[in-house]
Amino acid sequence: MLWETMLMLFDPVILLSIVAGVSAGLFVGAIPGLTATMALAVLLPFTFTLPPLHGLVALGAVYMGAIYGGSFAAILVNTPGTPSSIATAFEGYPMAKQGRALEAISLATVASAVGGIAGALFLLFLSPPLAELSLRFGPPEYFWVAVLGLTLIASLSEGSTAKGLLGGALGMVIGTIGVAPIGGETRFTFGITVLQGGVPMIVALIGLFVLPELYGIAAKAKSALSAVEVDPKAKGSFWQAVKTVFSMPGNLIRSCIIGEIVAIIPGAGGNIANLVAYNEAKRASKHPEKFGTGLPEGLVATESSNNVTVAGSMVPLLTLGIPGAPPDAVILGVMMLHGLRPGIELFTVSGHLTYGFILSMALAAIAMVPVGLLGGRLIYKVIFKTPYYFLVPTIALATILGTYGVRNSHTDVVLMLVLGTLGHVLKQLGVAPAPIVLGLILGNIAEMGYVQTILGGQAYQYPFLKLFESSLSRILIAMTVLSAAWPYLLALKQRIQARKASPKEDRHE
């Protein structure tokens, strides 16, 4: 069946829709503010006229391309194009500043393709067990996932951990503005009706990452890229990138597994996966102190993990009908319209269609390589050649449009400017934007998890005990403790090693 299905995909129309979908996704993803969800929603009506397989293939390709396209903006202008490439900027932008932008793009391309294919393989072979695992995440587990995620702040805050934690708390406070997810009442609206809807994560993300960069370029009167001479042949080649990426199999495998686990948790997607993968790559590295200076390891970790989530988040979608990440909700809508009910019968009765869709995502991942290398070079040249005084207003324009497009709101644009300007000042003081955004993402998950847990424990004498009830909760708590204590354990280990290394000790092993 797989073989037949594969042959079915080598239809010119399908191949063309894959390439077109990836290109369109790449363009949307590269513009900060335009997310994969939005791209899919816009494309939706077109797919109604297509046969189900063609429609799903096109949507899958757009999704794949959009998540990958986010890395361009991250590498070239230090601005994650989508929330899935926040950590890509940590290594990609320093590389670009050193004149290694093309190398970074090639690495991101290869890593994304590997991640995309890995996600499709997970989906193809491991769906049923992974789907059951995803169901075990209830409110208490969500709460602990969020707490575990917050321990990332220690490694995301450059320099002072206390400032990073302050940023995280600020992010969580910003995240609570608007209608309470559980209680339904409004908080912190200060009499402004629009604030009922809260501050969308994208708006904060754009403001906090893009504006400081623009202000920096304006102050210095030159863009970071134009500062260095680039030898275009140096290390930018595709084969070189392939070699580099595959020279770190441990990192690749780890990042793909992290991507897959985050992907199957409903509600968490590439936005969390890339940060976790980055953090783990740093933790496992022999030279963690070099992270942040343009290390390929970090880049490969983030870009492979976030593309795993594309196909990976469809595990609960196809088997249970539960979207693993926001863009999947749109794909679920399409499937419902074509009368495709998620469940095991999707793999048996409509097997050709389902397997075709899964395999097409692997093809889309492969298609990213030529499309991305070409498109990446083009975008790079444009940004490189554009004088800084055009670059600043143009990026500002894209930013404003992206923010506005989130929900067609002018107020959001004002919010973005206010947050971005505040973020610029805070960044100067050592409070990095990444912990703020992380707080914003995780604050909501933590709040929902906590309040729902307490509600679920109403019949208990102490409702909060429900937080510690399940074995999965306990595993997550152990991981949290370990993660928080890691830097201290590391220091301890080094001290012991230093003692071991001292000449007095003579051990026979």
Partner 1 sequence: MKKFTRLLWGIVLAVAFAMPGPVFAEYPEKPITYIIPFNPGGESDVTARLQEPHLEKFLGVPVNITHKPGGGGAVAWSEFQRTAKPDGYTIIGCNIPHIIGQPLIRKEAGYTTDGFKIIMWFHFTPNALVVSKDSPFKTLDDFIQYAKAHPAAVTVGGSGTYSANHLEALRLEKAAGIDLTYVPHTGTGPIIPALMGGHISAAMTYSMVGVNYKDRLRTLAVASDERVPALPDVPTFKELGYDIVGGAFRGVAAPLGTPQPIVDKLAHAFTETNKIIANKQVGLGFVMTYATGDEALKLVERMRAAYGDVLNEIRQKQK
Partner 2 sequence: MNREINTDIASGCIGLLLTVLFYFGLEDVLWMSIIFPEAVVAIMGVLSAVLIIKGLVKPSRRLIFVEGSNVRWIVTGVLFFCWVMVMPVLGFFVSTVLFMSLIVIYLARARTPVTVRKICVWVPVVIAEVAFFYVTFTRFLYVPLPEGMFF
Among 100, 163, 254, 466, binds partner 2 (CB under 8 A): 163
Q: Using CB under 8 A as the criterion, what x/- string covers residues 369-388 for binding partner 2?
A: ------------------xx
In sequence order, the β-bridge partners of residue 187 are 178
Contact 179, 186 (CB under 8 A): yes
Q: Using CA of residue 233, residue 239, residue 240, residue 245, what is the dihedral sign? A: positive
- Name the DSSP class of 460: S
- Using CB under 8 A, pick the residue from 30, 145, 448, 467 that binds partner 1: 448
Among 93, 215, 278, 357, binds partner 2 (CB under 8 A): 215
Site for partner 2 in 416-475 (CB under 8 A): 417, 421, 424-426, 428-431, 443, 446-447, 450-451, 455
When the beta carbons of 33 and 92 are compared against partner 2, the nearer one is 33
Coil, helix or strand for 234? coil
Q: Say how far apart CA 372 and CA 70 lie, in whole Å.
A: 11
Q: At what angle do helices 12-30 and 36-48 cross, to 10 degrees?
A: 150
Binding partner of 388, given partner 2, partner 1, none, CB within 5-8 angstroms per partner class: partner 2
203 binds partner 2 (CB under 8 A): no
Report if residue 266 touches partner 1, rule: CB under 8 A. Answer: yes
Q: Does 48 bind partner 2 (CB under 8 A)?
A: no
Give the whole-angstrom CA distance, residue 311 versus residue 384: 33
Query: Using the rule CB under 8 A, is 216 a contact of partner 2?
Result: yes
Size of the site for partner 1 (CB under 8 A): 59
Three-state secondary-structure class, residue 199? coil
Beta carbons of 313 and 105 less than 8 angstroms apart:
no
Q: Which stretch binds partner 2 (CB under 8 A): 4-12, 114-122, 157-165, 462-470?
A: 157-165
Amino acid letter for position 205: L
Q: Which of 283, 409, 479, 486 binds partner 1 (CB under 8 A)?
A: 409
Q: Which of partner 1, partner 2, none is residue 392 near (CB under 5 to 8 Å by kind)?
A: partner 2
Q: How far is the CB of 413 from partner 2 (least distance, A)?
A: 5
| Structure tokens belonging to residue 495 | 């001290």
Please, which residues have CB within 8 angstroms of residue 47's CB and are 6 or more apart in sequence? 54, 55, 56, 58, 59, 334
Only segment of 18-26, 94-102, 328-336, 422-430 that touches partner 1 (CB under 8 A) = 328-336
3-class DSSP assignment, residue 503: coil
- The binder of 170, among partner 2, partner 1, none, by C-beta within 5 to 8 A per type, is partner 2
Number of C-beta neighbours around residue 48 at 10 A? 10
**SS3 state of residue 291:** coil
Per-residue contact flags (x/-) with partner 1 for residues 368 to 407, judged by CB under 8 A:
---------------------------------------x
Q: Which does 428 bind (CB under 5 to 8 A by kind): partner 2, partner 1, none?
A: partner 2
Residue 389 touches partner 2, criterion: CB under 8 A = yes
Least CB distance to partner 1 at residue 80 (A)? 21
H/E stretch holding 186: strand 186-187
Pair of tokens at residue 244: 């580099």
Stretch that binds partner 2, among 11-19, 72-80, 102-110, 212-220 (CB under 8 A): 212-220
At 110, the amino acid letter reads V
Instruction: List 504's β-bridge partners, or say none.
Output: none
Q: Judged by CB under 8 A, which stretch of 41-49, 165-173, 272-280, 349-357 contacts partner 1?
A: 41-49
Q: Is 31 in the site for partner 1 (CB under 8 A)?
A: no
Q: How far apart are CA 182 and CA 452, in angstroms?
A: 7
Question: 12 touches which of partner 1, partner 2, none (CB within 5 to 8 A by kind)?
Answer: none
> According to the binding rule CB under 8 A, does residue 180 interact with partner 2?
yes
Q: Which is nearer to partner 2, 219 or 498 (CB)?
A: 219
Evaluate whether 286 touches 86 at the Cβ level (below 8 Å): no
70 near partner 2, rule: CB under 8 A: no
Q: What residue has token string 């343009």?
A: 294
DSSP string, 66-88: HHHHHHHHHHHHS--SSGGGTTH
Query: What is the DSSP-derived secondary structure letter of residue 187?
Result: E
Give the whole-angstrom CA distance, residue 154 versus residue 432.
11
Under the criterion CB under 8 A, does residue 506 sit at the interface with partner 1?
A: no
Chain residues that interact with partner 1, rule: CB under 8 A = 37-38, 40-41, 44-45, 48, 134-139, 178-186, 189, 191, 193-194, 196-198, 200, 266-267, 316, 320-323, 326, 329-333, 336-337, 339, 341-344, 407-409, 448, 452, 455-456, 458-459
